[in-house]
Structure 1
């Protein structure tokens, strides 16, 4: 009897002590909101951090290493816009509809105040969301996205060609989110690709081509700045962190440089030899910087 008890205690002591499932294994859950179901996954147990997706993104587009690194400090909640992936309802094809998704997700999860982050198109969505509900967003994180207004640099042709393909392979991912000219970045692309594809079940369907035009128009509307986002950036007291690659072929970091001296609370983190997905090239480092930035 004593031997059996000792063996049980030793086995318990040797077992891993994760308090939550990692991003690769996190189950897809759903929130009912206004007649639709919003698909989401949650990892971690800290303060809530809601992340908005990129152009053509699904729940499976995030690098698990980035999500798991963030989950050391946050309850990280990723989701799919209405009508995208496994979310139901009319497809969210405008900034207003995507912001509604953020709000309704938070309401459905009974989250009043949260850190809000977004990648690429999601970076535009969260700027709009923070403008609309500043009392609910404690800190704003904009990853690989520009400010509203006319961009000084437009996306490069190689990026647009890859972004318009129905399905992307690793070579496309290097062009879209990394720096193909950098050996360091290419190696990071392969490592990130492998991590993302480690999840083999409970996957979301890819975004259909019909949604591409809607999402592209939504980004164009954000650039037109019809909702006062620029004024918000110039006057807000909300802490804002912009994370950028030094050679982003879609959203050049130089567009933020042009606003230097006018941004009230914005900090800029530029990652070296990186492109449009700096958080996937440097998952642990970017997550650590976000944790420091959003420390209560």
Structure 2
């Protein structure tokens, strides 16, 4: 059976865009695949194998590059509703009637919109290190940390930017970050680079719209009560990119969902890498729960 390291990219054309994805894992006991949506500038080559592989041993997984990202051509959409449209159309083109969906960080913005705009497509939803669109109680992240991620243009800058933004700055935590970086950057061959300058600008523009109440109708904050599927909200207790309080606000606004909130101690945005073993187990437990 293929693993994250050995899965070969596959492609499917939808509405003129050639979408790239990885599809692997075991579908023996779980017929609903889990689709993963990645963070700012990241591609399907930027996941942690220690997170992905324990999940793929129990279910089929699909790691998708949205338009303008990684090995997918086209341009980055201007709204997360459009990102969600792409996800739904790719899933439909693959002949899949229902999915579980995990969105990390910016991928979590798109995952919320997929659950809102395609409610019959999503069986269960996992929102990791993310938050709702603009609204009361929502806090902005550290602009300096976000700026370093946006401006990073070589391996050294990317390494420094992501470790500073995803991990606490203590020597112990930065050492854990180094271990994650090595796992992530050596897991796969022929890896895509982080999203380039033009795509990064488009992603930033989408974030600015998401974070502006003038565009509330395009976002999730006022609609979270519409989600009625089980939802797992997870984060570190000290996320500086998408502040942890936003996960709490999102959890409280999921009033009609069977919502769960899990915060990991002494960790930030990179909790799903630092606690990869624990979080992968939690994901499997949440998805397997028939209650």
TM-score (norm 2): 0.88
Which residue in the other structure is 2:37 paired with? 52
Structure 2 distance, partners of 1:134, 1:104, is: 14
- 1:87: Cα distance to partner? 0.6
Provide, for residues 171-203 of structure 1, a one-character-per-residue CA deviation record: whole Å limited to 9, x for no partner: 3221121112361x3232112111112235232
Of residues 257, 262, 270, the one that matches 1:277 is 270
SS state of the match for residue 60, structure 1? coil
Report if aligned partners of 2:236, 2:268 keep a CA contact under 8 Å in 1: yes
Q: Is the 8 A contact 2:116 2:226 kept in 1?
A: no
Return 196-205 or 270-279, whichever deviates more: 196-205
86-95 vs 101-110, greater mean Cα deviation:
86-95
Aligned pair count reads 276
CA drift of 1:107 comes to 1.4
What is the alpha-carbon distance in structure 1 between the residues aligned to residue 160 and residue 87 of structure 2?
Answer: 32
- Aligned-CA RMSD value: 2.0
Match of 1:160 among 122, 135, 146: 146
d(CA) in 1 for partners of 2:16, 2:194: 23
Given candidates 179, 192, 204, the residue that maps to 2:168 is: 179
Q: Is the 8 A contact 1:27 1:202 kept in 2?
A: no
Task: Give the C-alpha shift of residue 259 in structure 1.
Answer: 5.6
Q: Residues of 1 paired with 2:230 and 2:101: CA distance?
A: 11
Larger mean Cα displacement after TM superposition, 234-243 or 223-232: 223-232
2:220 matched residue in structure 1: 229
> Structure 1 residues 161 and 149, CA, compared in 2 at 3 Å: closer, same or farther?
closer
In 2, Cα distance between the equivalents of 1:250 and 1:95? Answer: 18
Distance 2:251 2:182 in 1: 38
Q: 1:263 maps to which residue? A: 254
The runs of 5 or more residues in structure 1 that have no matched partner are 1-19
Offset at residue 261 of structure 1 (A): 4.6
In structure 2, C-alpha distance between the alignment counterparts of 1:34 and 1:21, rounded to whole Å: 29
Rounded Cα–Cα distance in structure 2 between residues aligned with 1:258 and 1:102: 25
Structure 2 distance, partners of 1:258, 1:121, is: 17
Give the structure 1 partner of residue 11 of structure 2.
30
Separation in 1 of the partners of 2:77 and 2:251? Answer: 33
Deviations along 1:146-183, one digit per CA (max 9) or x if unpaired, are: 12223643221441232122234433221121112361
Residues 259 and 53 from structure 1, CA distance in 2 versus in 1: closer, same or farther, beyond 3 angstroms?
A: closer
**C-alpha distance in 1, partners of 2:251/2:187?**
41
Change (3 A) 1:157 1:139: same
Conserved 8 A contact 1:158-1:175: no
Query: Which string of whole-angstrom CA distances, capped at 9 and with x for unpartnered residues, describes residues 62-95 of structure 1?
Result: 1111110111222111111112211122333322
Match of 2:91 in 1: 106
Correspondent of 2:285 among 263, 287, 292 = 292
Report the Cα distance in structure 2 between the residues aligned to 1:143 and 1:200, rounded to whole angstroms.
Answer: 23
For the pair shown, the structure with the greater C-alpha radius of gyration is 1
1:52 CA drift (Å): 0.8
